[in-house]
Structures are given as structure tokens and as C-alpha cells.
Amino acid sequence: MDFSTFLIQLLNALQYGLLLFLVASGLTLVFGIMGIINLAHGSFYMMGAYMAFSLTSLTGNLLIAVVLGVALSALIGFLLEWGLFSRLYKRDHLDQVLLTYGLILMFEETRSLIVGDDVHGVPIPELLSASIQLSETLSYPVYRLFMSAVCIALAIGMYWLIRRTRLGMMIRAGSSNREMVQALGINIDLIYRLVFALGVTLAAFAGMLAAPVSSVYPGMGNQVLIICFVVVVIGGVGSVWGALVAALLIGLADTFGKVIIPDYAGLTVYILMAAVLLWRPEGIFRRI
């Protein structure tokens, strides 16, 4: 493997890991703060990809489609928490699993009715359609670099929100002791609603970002859901920073595994998970 090929694989690994973080951070926030096992989280990723396809077809502009899609995703997340998930906080995890599995079926059927079962593509914006030449025969797409930069910016923004703002302080307090926060006069129901809407929006936005570089197809959220749970387990349940580290490790293991040991590449992520759990059964980090 020459240096140019190594650099391309490294950039691919980082881009994949950062995109995984964007999806998994919403999942770990919802589970770590609200205690909700959300099997429908992958469906929100799929929803974002299909929003990018549908709204780009309507508006002719991916940026406008993303802005509209983010607003719609936040609204959908807010309404879902208000109408469904707010009833589950005092119930068993089995009830949560049943509800979220039902949502998977509902999203899949709704997607089939609205856009059908065909595979679709989303064009890359002309401004970001160029490539950077790394050697005489190898180049790297600017759009993938843009995706990585956006994910890094959002990770920094999440750190600032959770660690440096009053809302973040209330979120961290609510994850530790919901009743005490409520007794202090803070509207914990609204905090949970905002956290869930944020989780849905992050997953949907990741789907919108990924749509131009991957096909938009039925069931695409199911594959993402499985790997996101692996990210949460490796990083530590409820830890956003653990999710970032875990997602980057998985991106490196998966990408270089396909290059070095392609016959066993599918096992590399799960071997990594097993190794981390043997070392730290609670995951790499334990705090939000």
C-alpha cells in the first residue's frame, strides 16, 4: 500500500467514523439521558436520506433541502416524544422495544407509500463536486472532506452545548436525577423533549449528508442501527465523547479491515467490541 492509497483509506475511515458518530451520538444521548432504548433510531437516518432525495427533487437545491429537512426532523422528534415516548419513562424496556419496533414498521411502510421501493440517488452540489488530486492516478472528493468538516463542527458544537451552556447543565442534571431537577422547578419534560428532538435531528442530518455519496434505498437504516449500538456499547452508554472515540475506532477497523483482511472484514468491528468489553466492561467512558 503506497502513501496515497493509505491516505485515501485513512480519510475514508475518518469520514465514516465521524458520520457514525453523528448518528450514534443521538442514540447515546436518548438512552443515556432518557433511558429509552430506541430501535427506530436507524429509521430516522433513513428518513433524513429520503428527505434529502425528495426535497432536493422539489427544490433543486440540496442546501435548501437540508435546511427544510432539519426543521422537519426536529418537529417530528418533538412530536414523537410528546405523543409516544413521554409515556414510556416509567415502563419496562420491553414496552420501549415494542413501541420502537412498531415505529420501524410504520416508517418503512410510510416510505414505501410515498416514494416507493426503488433505489435513488442525490446529486452532489456543483460547488462541492470537485476532487483533490493526491497522485497521478488517485484523487479524493471534496464533498467527503466537507462531510468530515461538518461532523467535526457539530461535535464541537455538542461539546459546547452540553458542557458550556445552561441547557447543557440541565441536561446533565436531568440524566442524573430527574425527580430532583423537577423539584427545583425545571421543566424536565421539555428538556427531555428537546433532547429527543436533537437525537432525531442528528440522525436525520447524518442521512442527509450521506445521501449524495451513497444510494438511498429501503431498509438502509437497519444496517446503521446495528453498528450504532456497537458504537454506544464500546464508547459507554450515555457518553457522547465515548461515542466519538468508538466511532473513529470502528471507522479505522472497518476501513482498513476491508483492505488488509477483506475475507474477515465483517468481523473486525465485533472483535474490537469484544476486546474493549474485556478491558472495560462499562465501555471506554461512563459520563456524558
Better-scored residue on pLDDT, 89 or 142 = 142
Better-scored residue on pLDDT, 15 or 287 = 15
pLDDT on residue 50: 94
pLDDT on residue 71: 95
Better-scored residue on pLDDT, 262 or 45 = 45
- pLDDT, mean of residues 50-77: 93
Phi, psi of 95 (to 5 degrees): -65, -40
pLDDT on residue 107: 92
Better-scored residue on pLDDT, 266 or 71 = 71
pLDDT on residue 248: 94
Least confident of 5-14, 84-93, 215-224: 84-93
pLDDT tens digits, 21-31 = 999 988 888 88
- Domain edges within the chain: 21-217
Query: For the stretch 193-221, what's the b/e string if a residue is b when 16 or more beta carbons lie within 10 angstroms of its beta carbon?
Result: bbbbbbbbbbbbbbbbbbbbeeebebebb
Q: Which residue has the cell 414523537?
A: 80
pLDDT on residue 177: 77
pLDDT tens digits, 163-212 = 889 888 888 887 777 788 888 888 888 989 999 999 999 999 999 999 99
pLDDT at 286 over 70: no
